[in-house]
Amino acid sequence: MFLRAMRSWYNNLFLNSKFSDFAYLGDLSQYHLTDIQNRLRAIWSEEISVHETYQIVTWSNKNSSYRICYTLNGKFIQVLEEKWIKENLIFSYDLKLDLNPDLLYLKQAV
């Protein structure tokens, strides 16, 4: 009985979850671009836009999409936008220049 309850709890929490894979990654600044690409490659489509001093990677699936800014070397800069498609919600984030000096280049380009 206890084992069945634990298995049900695990399945509901991890296998049937409706949370985004990005939510499970947690602090994205702890990941290099290639780490995230390797984790999401099979289940998310990816589009990369390379600029002079930074790159913007957009990941999307049927439920959500994320626009994230990285240095040309793949270091995380900031999440720019998050879309929840089914809920028709868009979250855009202001550039946080005080937290990341790499954003100075991005601020000038935007």
Tell me if 46 sits within 8 A of 37, measured CB to CB: yes
Going by C-alpha positions, the residue among 31, 26, 45, 41 that lies closest to residue 77 is 31
The pLDDT assigned to 107 comes to 57
**CA gap 84, 98 in Å, rounded:** 28
Residue 6: what are its φ and ψ, rounded to 5°? -65, -40
Per-residue pLDDT tens over the stretch 64-93: 999 999 989 999 989 999 999 888 999 998
Helix (H, G, I), strand (E, B) or coil at 99: coil
> Has this prediction a pTM greater than 0.75?
no
Task: Give the pairing type, strands 76-84 and 89-92.
Answer: antiparallel
